[in-house]
Chain A
């Protein structure tokens, strides 16, 4: 939805303005230090609670918000709920120590453009920030696996209600499968003989379906299956 912005992933004149939301001060300090070492990304503020975050984001209007999933008072999903209707231009990247499917699906459905775990390296994190800022979605291999599982046509699965939203195209499935295998976008493009731009389009489309689909599995699956 911010794909039309001028400061894409490549055009790095003005740095991407990043805001950190996490209730652990130590973790915020670590992320800030790591991102400060990378060019093209600038941390402009941080917050340790939902209320603080909502107020500061409204005031500062950052490009990208790095959002912790687990916080008191409703967590990352609550921040998304309060900010998204007023400021659709602010992009959210969820960052969490938890890999539980429930959490992943919850923040994605609430509007986050991507999900990475806290063990990600500073360089990869900066890369993910630039990518969501450029309008892309960021799928960790695990998230790709979740989504594949949710949209699979298992015997006994409920029939899709809206094929436009409830089914993945074979191409999207291929892209997700390679993501789950740990391939980068460039490697996927080479593997499938398509351009990186096309890969990005497929991933964004999968993200949209994950956010909007009413597939029964999305809610049921997320709550009764939590992989370690």
Chain B
């Protein structure tokens, strides 16, 4: 950031001093020394002026009389050293530097005016686009005009003095020189235009993002919170709503197509086994107001008839646990291997003796078993009174499905 107060030319030296944490005097001296090297200091100062932003906050710095005198002296010395170095080098360089130096002074005056007008713009808080390169007021206008004159004069003298050319070439070069002059003069304008555009685009993106998040939170979370407040006397319902909303929000944030993701994953797998099982678990959660936490291991695969049966059987097993076990949580573990899928549905509920089950319970177990066996799967049931129940469902993956899966 370039300094806005306590500056002499453009606040570049002050800004560099702030950045490096040294006294501004040393920085100015360094620029003077650099100016002796073919005017590198002057060039560096100009470039920093263009590309370093002015600080936007008003900081009051007082600049003492002695410091001001030192600084003015250093500036003069810098210009002098630059010119002398150029002149000592050889006369040709000296000729170039002389008029171009005048042009540089002119450009400096105009750029300084541009800094002023930007500051005024900040002060007013107005975002009136990119006009206002020149400030208001007669003095400012005069300064700008003087700057333009200097630039034109410098370039003109440079052309006339250095080149001995025919009419046509001179005309072309004059046009070119005018273009260069205009380009130099309008540098602050272009820089500001580019910055403003970049800033505006960033603001727009942030704005759109914020709007999307707000809309989502409004539709989902706020609605759910309102529902929870209205039904606060029904703990079961509150639990169901809270859990459902949590799941939904998680999906939005971390899900395969979720907000927190850059790109969507393989869309063919969106309706895959993992998704189907997660959905089934969510349905059971919603219907019975308990927590089903599925853990999936292995790479997802597309659904076929066998796997669809497996998902339905898993859902049935979860429903059984939800209805009969009398617990608040069911563990579901799914292991997808290349040739087999294993599902474990486990609760720590009341359990039962598999050999002495009531008829209805037996029937449900049969519906799981029947479904699995029709598709070539197996069911293993482990339970004992008081020790919870675990249902293991295994489905082998047919070879042709395997080939299809690999081909798609």
Contact = CB atoms under 8 A, between A and B. Distances in A.
Interface of A: 98-100, 119, 141-142, 144-145, 148-149, 152, 154-155, 177, 180-183, 226-228
A171 B251 CA distance: 34
B333 A181 contact: yes
A152 B390 CA distance: 24
Contact of B278 (A98, A145, A148, A228): A228
Contacts of A99: 250, 254
Q: Which 5 A-B pairs have the closest CB atoms?
A: A182-B331, A145-B295, A181-B333, A226-B254, A181-B344
B255 A182 contact: no
Contacts of B346: 181-183
B283 interface: no
Tell me the interface secondary structure of chain B in the complex: mixed
Nearest to B261: A226
A228 B335 contact: no
Interface string B332-376: 010100100000101010000000000000000000000000000
B390 A181 contact: yes
A149 B331 CA distance: 18
A90 to B, nearest CB: 30
Tell me the interface secondary structure of chain A in the complex: loop
A145 B258 CA distance: 21
Interface in B221-261: 247, 250-251, 254-255, 258, 260-261
A226 B299 CA distance: 13
Interface residues of B, number: 24
A177 B335 contact: yes
A37 to B, nearest CB: 19
Contacts of B278: 228
B297 interface: yes
Contacts of A98: 254
B293 interface: yes
A154 B293 contact: no
B288 to A, nearest CB: 17
B333 A152 contact: no
B390 to A, nearest CB: 7
A228 B344 contact: no
Contacts of B348: 182
A227 B295 CA distance: 9
A144 B334 CA distance: 12
Contact of B254 (A100, A144, A154, A180): A100
Contacts of A180: 295, 297, 333
Contacts of B89: none
B352 to A, nearest CB: 18
A145 B247 contact: no
A141 B297 CA distance: 11
A100 B247 CA distance: 13
